[in-house]
A and B are shown apart, each in its own frame.
Chain A
Amino acid sequence: MHIPDGFLDPWICLMMYAITIIFWIFSFRKTKHILEDKHIPLMSTLTAMFFAAQMMNFPIIGGTTAHLLGGPIIGITLGPYAGLISMTVILLIQALFFGDGGLTTFGANVWNMGIIGVFIPYIICLAIVRIGKNTKSLLIGAFLGALIGDVLAAIFAGIELGISFLSFPYSIQIAVTAMATHHFFIGIGEGIITMIILSILIKNRPDLLELPKATPYWLGEFPKFLISKGGEK
């Protein structure tokens, strides 16, 4: 889903940078009030793990391949703001050193994978956990959040391409349909893997899921039930 240089019109690149910069400012401000010593190894480990995980290309439909984005698990574990910082580090290294995603399109890529791909899974998972208040709801929320987050990120990428009339000679409908259809299957894989990782964490390190998270104040944090209930199994 990394959009390379040349695929988006300049005004879209500028607009996406502007929106993304606002989120970066909020993320840095909010994260520095939350971040403690114990967060840093977790944040850096997850960032490195999903940089590495993105190197694994899984075969999917039609002879194409897909890789994990990692946004959902990073967002659910660290909170969306710290998750955005982690994803920004991954995307910046990929763009600068490997040409995986462009520099003019960096703002758009961060928006798609670092903001939509992190905030949406967090919000969906949080909503479902607040209803269920148990580990089952956490896993269901993680699956649905990852699936919907991936599809929405793909839809946004399709919209950005579709309205790039100068650079991308196909309509928004074609671009969005193609991206969303394929990424529905990627989203299912991302959802299953997010659930598996969360299950392992719930079983072995529930404390990591209950660390304070950097979140927008109006969203709030996950209800605490994992440690207090000894981690339901």
Chain B
Amino acid sequence: MKYEKLAIVGIIISIIFVIIGCTWLSLSAETFDEIAEKFGAKENLIWNPPLPDYEMPGFEGNLLINTIIGIIFTILTFIAAYGIGNLLKSKRVK
């Protein structure tokens, strides 16, 4: 039971991170991107992601939508990791 409580606390902290990340600390000017731009490297996408730069096309800069996307994908990440963990565990049990 104590591990389930841990998961709930973790998800709440994650949601706080998402809210901070989508509002206060949302400006992304990553060192890597700056260096690449300075050196003239060109991105050549082979796959068009549905939510480029963590934003919904047509709603760029909308903090609420960005936060909702962040929260949904944080929960999806949790579910994906949980699923993989269970898959690995169940293989061992068999």
A→B interface (CB under 8 Å): 1-7, 28, 31-33, 35-49, 51-53, 55-60, 62-67, 85-86, 89-90, 93, 95-100, 102-104, 157, 161, 167-170, 174-175, 178-179, 182-183, 186, 205, 208
Contact = CB atoms under 8 A, between A and B. Distances in A.
Interface string B17-53: 1101110011111111011100111111111111111
Given A6-B44, A63-B29, A52 B89 contact: no
B62 interface: no
A114 to B, nearest CB: 13
Interface of B: 3-4, 6-7, 9-11, 13-15, 17-18, 20-22, 25-32, 34-36, 39-54, 70, 73-82, 84-86, 88-89, 91-92
29 contacts: A1-B32, A2-B32, A5-B43, A5-B47, A6-B42, A7-B43, A28-B88, A32-B92, A40-B86, A42-B3, A44-B7, A44-B79, A44-B81, A46-B10, A48-B75, A53-B14, A53-B17, A55-B18, A57-B21, A65-B27, A65-B28, A65-B29, A65-B31, A85-B84, A97-B49, A97-B50, A97-B51, A102-B43, A102-B47
A168 B27 CA distance: 26
B77 A89 contact: yes
A42 B6 contact: yes
A98 B10 contact: no
Given A32-B92, A48-B81, A57-B28, A167 B41 contact: yes
B28 A48 contact: no
Interface of A is mostly: helix
Contacts of B91: 32
B85 A39 contact: yes
Given A1-B32, A40-B86, A93 B76 contact: yes
Contacts of B35: 175, 178-179, 182
Given A28-B88, A47-B77, A85-B84, A7 B27 contact: no
B22 A55 contact: yes
Given A41-B10, A205-B6, 6 more contacts: A5-B43, A5-B47, A38-B3, A52-B14, A64-B29, A64-B31
Give the top 5 A-B pairs by smallest Cβ distance, nearest first: A6-B44, A45-B10, A55-B21, A99-B49, A47-B81
B37 to A, nearest CB: 11
Nearest to B36: A7
